Amino acid sequence: MNILNVFQILLFSLGSVGVALGLYWYYRQHSPLAIAIVTTASVFAMFLGNMLPYLWLTTSGISAPARVVEVDCRQGEKHHIRYQFSVGTTIVNELGSDGYGNPTCEAIKAGDSGLVTYIPSEPSVHVWGNASEYLGERLAGLLLVLVCVPIFSYAGVRKRVG
């Protein structure tokens, strides 16, 4: 277990405790503003725990070529690319989604080369493609959470509590 996993577990635990506290306060009819703040902070902690690998990869990751092993482009399903790359004597086999700086599923086939971003000291922390694109997508989701959760939780609690 690396330090990244410790921080993720800590943030998910804090987030879960915060959500439980928010629910307890909700049933005890505490201040709607306090419930909205605790709920938002808790969901933020959980999102941040999910974003940690992408932050680490964006700041400390390096890009390397990876070989496409298998492609699954079924219509109506999420496209999957099975890829393989090596770091020293370690060979990593993984499954990723198309895009993120790599060709689309329809444009790539087994045997082709693609890009993978990984942490040199911890190759198990990696993504298929460009880590900055993953991070950008996660930040957009975080922005949505930071805007919507406070508004909806405050409005919903205020309506119930009065």
Task: Give the domains, in start order, of the chain with CATH numbers.
Answer: 3-58+134-161 (no CATH), 61-129 (2.40.50)
The chain-wide mean pLDDT, for the chain, equals 85
What are 113-122's pLDDT values in tens digits? 999 999 998 8
Q: How confident is the model at residue 162 (pLDDT cuts 50, 70, 90)?
A: low
Its pTM surpasses 0.75? no
pLDDT surpassing 80 at residue 54: yes
User: Which pairs from 132-141 meet CB under 8 Å and 24+ separation?
Assistant: 132/58, 133/99, 133/100, 133/101, 134/54, 134/57, 134/100, 135/51, 135/54, 135/55, 135/57, 135/58, 138/47, 138/50, 138/51, 138/54, 139/51, 141/47
Q: How confident is the model at residue 61 (pLDDT cuts 50, 70, 90)?
A: very high
